Amino acid sequence: MQEDILINWSPQETRVAVVENGALQELHVERTLERGLVGNVYLGKVARVLPGMQSAFIDIGLERAAFLHVADVWHRQPDGEPPSLVRNTQPQIPIEKQVFEGQVLTVQVIKDPIGTKGARLSTQISIAGRMLVFLPQDDHVGVSQKIPPALRDELRSRLQLLASPQGGGLILRTNGEDASDQELSDDITYLRKAWARIKEASLRLPPMSLLHQDLSLLQRVLRDFVSNKTQTIRVDSREQYDSLRAFGLEFMPAAATKLQHYKGERPIFDLDAIDDDIAKALGRRVELKSGGYLIVDQTEALTTIDVNTGGFVGARNFDDTIFKTNLEATQAIARQLRLRNLGGIIIVDFIDMVRTDHQDTVLAEFRKQLGRDRVKTNASGFSQLGLVEMTRKRTRESLAHMLCEPCPTCEGKGIVKTARSVTYDIFREILREARQFNPREFRVVASPKVIELFLDEESEHLAGLSEFIGKPVSLQSDSAMGPEQYDIVLL
């Protein structure tokens, strides 16, 4: 598929859209005042050790203390094995025997703060370059699992020769598969210099200082997003185009050749109706071309996706209608996960299928679509209830959490009381107030819809209440009030 990357830049915000054949697949947003922290290296100070949770809170100078789990505390492994290969076989040393309160540690952010949770840290430092990831504390040399197995041994041998003189671990990234020895050597030199700067800063700066900041979103586009299927990278700012081109020519010359400065009069995101797609991605309902639809609900614990046939009746029989709807939904669900950046536990409720071969085909297609994701995903088979349980690595806030906030009217519930329910709440509140106070008059201030109900259908009940408490009740409409808001004034 043809892929294009559109970059909309402004001083306060950078937006990057990955578009395939005119359809938005991914959206990445970085705001100047809310820049992500993943990849940043800090000189942290241990604020508290929690043996019961086998974790520690580390102060790195942010609003909330960051979180270090015992599994993310680095220590040299036997025979130079990478930690991921031995973590399950070697007994872990308790966290209280590895760190103590007041200790100063060099740590790296591996997960941004999400919701009320602080950033997650690791004491294993990794510095990403154009083609390599440098692990200064390790001696392990590895190759990305996305590279064909037949090439891995040869590439690993080349890397070992380049890395051996000065030590340090290296992992070859996917876009380094065809790199020459000179390109790999240049990347290693750049990464070693970056590590030298970090070490020098850690000796010079006080605790809670930033030692190393990862690349900006603009620069990460060239490092992480560009692939063989990328046709163009269009930037709507001349200044940023020049800066990005200079950066690309120095570190990523192949990606830099795809850069273009967009000079059109229309906003760059209007070319493929990107803003319309963003607006749709913030809603619950996703329409399918066949007439079916998805319902996406994101909660604190997990995300649920429900597939419905809707108005689709095009197949010869009911089983085929369900099968074709589910098959179409697999592509739409995978796209929505990328576009909305949904992570954690995800439950997909496909329409129930009687035939096993239909289930197998839908599951195989779903896994195929998930395989296009840059983020790690894992989908299980159909459960006894006909649900597909899956996980998607959560590395940053979802699109909805980044662009939206809970509704002040419904307080995040997604629903509000009916006007009649609010009028009955007001009746009960007036009775409660009448037992405690003896005002001359009660005045109800509420939304126009509630006041209208008092004057119309509930007027008889309002008159009866006024007679029962022996006090007049006046009404005042306030259009600024939400559906559930009201005030009872004692006069």
**What are the sequence ranges of the domains in the chain?**
3-34+216-274, 125-209, 282-401, 419-490
**294 — phi, psi (to 5°)?**
-110, 150
**Nearest alpha carbon to residue 7 among 22, 27, 33:** 27
pLDDT bracket for residue 214 (50, 70, 90): confident
What is the model's pLDDT at position 315? 52
CATH fold label, 125-209 = Ribosomal Protein S5; domain 2 (3.30.230)
Q: How far apart are CA 387 and CA 379, in angstroms?
A: 11
- Is the per-residue pLDDT at 141 higher than 50? yes
What is the model's pLDDT at position 313? 61
Burial per residue of 108-124, b for 16 or more beta-carbon CB atoms within 10 angstroms, e otherwise: bbbbbbbeeebbbbbbb
What is the model's pLDDT at position 312? 61
Classify residue 344 as left (phi > 0), alpha (psi -120 to 50) or beta: left
Helical residues (DSSP H) of 23-125, grouped into ranges? 83-86
- 449 is written with which tokens? 């819809």
What is the model's pLDDT at position 346? 96
pLDDT bracket for residue 59 (50, 70, 90): very high
- The answer as to CATH 3.30.420.60 being correct for domain 3-34+216-274 is yes
The answer to whether 119 and 67 have CB atoms below 8 angstroms apart is yes
Helical residues (DSSP H) of 289-418, grouped into ranges? 318-340, 356-370, 399-403
CATH class, range 419-490: alpha beta
Q: How far apart are CA 482 and CA 448, in angstroms?
A: 9
Name which residue leads in pLDDT, 152 or 310. Answer: 152
Specify the range with the lowest mean pLDDT, choosing from 70-84, 262-276, 375-389.
70-84
The answer to whether 48 and 33 have CB atoms below 8 angstroms apart is no
Q: How far apart are CA 490 and CA 472, in angstroms?
A: 11
The answer to whether 42 and 214 have CB atoms below 8 angstroms apart is no
Q: How far apart are CA 419 and CA 450, in angstroms?
A: 5
Strands 120-122 and 66-69, how do they pair? parallel
The CA-CA-CA angle for residues 3, 391, 169, to 5°, reads: 75
The predicted model gives 198-217 an average pLDDT of 92
Q: How far apart are CA 168 and CA 40, in angstroms?
A: 19
Classify residue 255 as left (phi > 0), alpha (psi -120 to 50) or beta: alpha
pLDDT bracket for residue 41 (50, 70, 90): very high
Specify the range with the lowest mean pLDDT, choosing from 24-28, 276-280, 313-317, 484-488.
313-317
List Cβ neighbours of 257 (8 Å cut-off, separation of 6 or more). Answer: none
Q: What's 216's DSSP letter?
A: P
Name which residue leads in pLDDT, 68 or 174. Answer: 68
| Cβ count near 45 (within 10 Å) | 19
The answer to whether 425 and 323 have CB atoms below 8 angstroms apart is no
The three-state secondary structure class of 484 is coil
The predicted model gives 395-403 an average pLDDT of 84
Mean confidence (pLDDT) of the chain = 88
**82 — phi, psi (to 5°)?**
-70, 145
